[in-house]
A = this chain, B = another copy of it.
Amino acid sequence: MTDDCEDLKRRRLRAWIRLLRFTRGTENHLREFLRTQYNTTLPRFDVAAALHRHQKPMKMSELGKVLLVSNGNVTAVVERMEKDGLTVRSQSPDDRRSVLVSLTDLGQSKFEEMARAHEDEVDTLFKNIDGSDLDMMRELLRKFESSRQPNTVEDTGAEGSGLHRD
């Protein structure tokens, strides 16, 4: 392998580490924000956002695919949200294996309030980033993603874009 390749390899690794670090720091900030302001957690927020975005009841498995988390994880988080009266589960009429989750009215209204504040918070966090930066960012991420294997997250018909979108 040439020196150039080695150099590129090294730089790719550093870029990944940097990206990971930035993401982790931002997540930490938002976690703290949700905890102190709304007494909730990121995973719960993510689930609520996915359900809110999807408009209609969602299968447990769809939820897992959209959020990139395991099956058992979805069960656990939704269970806790249900205990707090934020979600409800029901059997799918089409397929008796499937479970449909949706937000309760309480879950809906709590999420909508949080989502506004969350959006503001992200806006503040990213205040130095202008439109052209965002274009660049999108382009870069597109390239990054095109590198990756056919698919780690096999896409079912799910729109597959919004991780905890609000």
Contacts and interface: CB of A to CB of B under 8 A. Distances in A.
A102 to B, nearest CB: 21
A54 B45 CA distance: 36
Tell me if A's interface is mostly helix, strand, loop or mixed: helix
Copies held by the complex:
2
A143 interface: yes
A125 B152 CA distance: 11
Interface of A: 8-29, 32, 68, 119-120, 122-123, 125-131, 133-134, 136-138, 140-141, 143-149, 152-153, 161-166
7 contacts: A9-B120, A9-B123, A12-B129, A18-B141, A19-B19, A24-B163, A137-B140
